Structure 1
Amino acid sequence: MSYAIGDAEVVAWIRESTTTGLNIGAAIPPGFASYATVVIPDDDAGRLAHDRTLVELLRRHSPESSWWLGYLETGGDPIPFPDAPKVGLYAGWRYVIVHAGSDEALSLRDGHWGRTLPELLFPDDRSWLVSALWDDDWRCVGGPASLIGSMVEAAELETRVVDFTQDATPPGHIAY
């Protein structure tokens, strides 16, 4: 199967609207109805259940849409399509952006260190955005209130609703 590789224009809406700091706006642009952080489990089994649950909830909110998947080049984790052009985002970090589907969100990465999901996910309609920043052990999410509500209700996800201006760092975690 072949996938389209995204360029800087695909993520311009994120790059041009995020800020620096500890609030959710460092990862997610303004304009979403709700925001949350979701802690990434430390153990492989917990992480796999977390990833599957998160993708299933995202699918329910974009059932007909393809997704953009962003893989952060850290030098430590292998990324799909390592020779593909990279785009700069956030603090100039380099991402491979791939146009694929929800199934590929769980399968393009080889599971190195128990990681499967890309660091960046959003559907074609941009109705939600999930982003895990470099070195953070949580994901930031912006989207419809119904999506955030379903994440709060999911037993496999440790979700905390945040407003746009408050520190998004989950209690007990450290932002780098």
Structure 2
Amino acid sequence: MVTPSDDVSVAQWLVNRLFPFENYLAGSVVPPGYEAYARILHPAQSTSGYVSWAEIAAWAGRIYHPAMQFESIATPVQGSGADPKPWDGQVPYHLPLSHVDTLAHILRPFTTTPEKIWYLVWDGYGSVPSTSRPHVQRPHRNYLLYYGGTDDVGDLGIGEHREPPEYWFPNEKSWCVATDVDLYWTYVGGSQACIDAILINSELESVPAELSHGLTVDSDTLNRLSPDEKKQ
């Protein structure tokens, strides 16, 4: 279980580094300054389990690449998509908790402070108890601050809230995990060795990321959708 903290100054470095929110770039979500970055793709689901973005792109005849957008790769090109969709419903805005635990296990050796991890939780969840505590603030998003160990990330113990945090980083900031309530993926910034450990993990579907990668469907220039396709 994590512990609340009012010392929001410990997260100011993150807010100061981020690109402006309205740029809609990876650097608007994950802080610049790290040697390398990974983008962990949240899996879609079917009745038989998780479905990777690679499977969906193959079904739709789309190009699988680091800057792809889910809406683009899930829209079949002409001549593709005749078989039933391999997934059901919407891709979640958070990693499954089992994947979060896997990520924490990968990241643990890359910090000297595994028992002092800072967690930022968006204050807009109905499952997060209301509070007058100080918030970590940035345009369009406010977060409550907590701290605990790497083992706490899969179950923060905040009331009825069961989603993983939007941001988490160790006390010495050797890496940073970042996502947003409107994204289908999670970023990680860290050393090259840290990011390589994520990219080779077989449970997490991940691709290399660049701070200049876009967040919107129009940023996927290899899988452009027509105006009619965007309406589907």
TM-score bucket (shorter structure): 0.7 to 0.9
Q: CA deviation at 1:8?
A: 2.9
CA deviation map 1:124-165 (0-9, x unaligned): 000111111121121121111111111111111111112222
Equivalent residues in 2 for 1:19-58 (5 A)? 19=19, 20=21, 21-43=23-45, 47-58=96-107
Match of 1:87 among 129, 132, 135: 135
> TM-score w.r.t. structure 2 length?
0.63
Could you list the runs of 5+ residues in structure 1 that have no partner in the other structure? none
Q: Which amino acid aligns with 2:36?
A: S
Q: CA deviation at 1:105?
A: 1.0
Matched, 1:146 2:148: no
Structure number having the greater strand percentage: 1
Distance 1:28 1:42 in 2: 23
Equivalent residues in 2 for 1:97-116 (5 A)? 97-109=145-157, 115-116=162-163
Residues 93, 144 of structure 1: CA spacing in aligned structure 2 closer, same or farther, 3 A cutoff?
same
Distance 2:43 2:157 in 1: 17
Which 4+ runs in 1 deviate beyond 3 A? 42-46, 109-113, 168-172
- Corresponding residue for 2:61? none
Distance 1:69 1:139 in 2: 15
CA deviation map 1:21-43 (0-9, x unaligned): 23221012221000121112344
Distance 2:2 2:187 in 1: 29
Q: CA deviation at 1:54?
A: 0.7
Matched, 1:124 2:171: yes
Could you list the runs of 5+ residues in structure 2 that have no partner in the other structure? 51-95, 224-232
> TM-score w.r.t. structure 1 length?
0.80
State whether residues 84 and 96 of structure 1, in contact with CA within 8 Å, keep that contact through their aligned partners in structure 2.
no
Q: Which amino acid aligns with 1:50?
A: H
Distance 2:152 2:203 in 1: 21
Residues 54, 119 of structure 1: CA spacing in aligned structure 2 closer, same or farther, 3 A cutoff?
same
Tell me the matched-pair count: 169
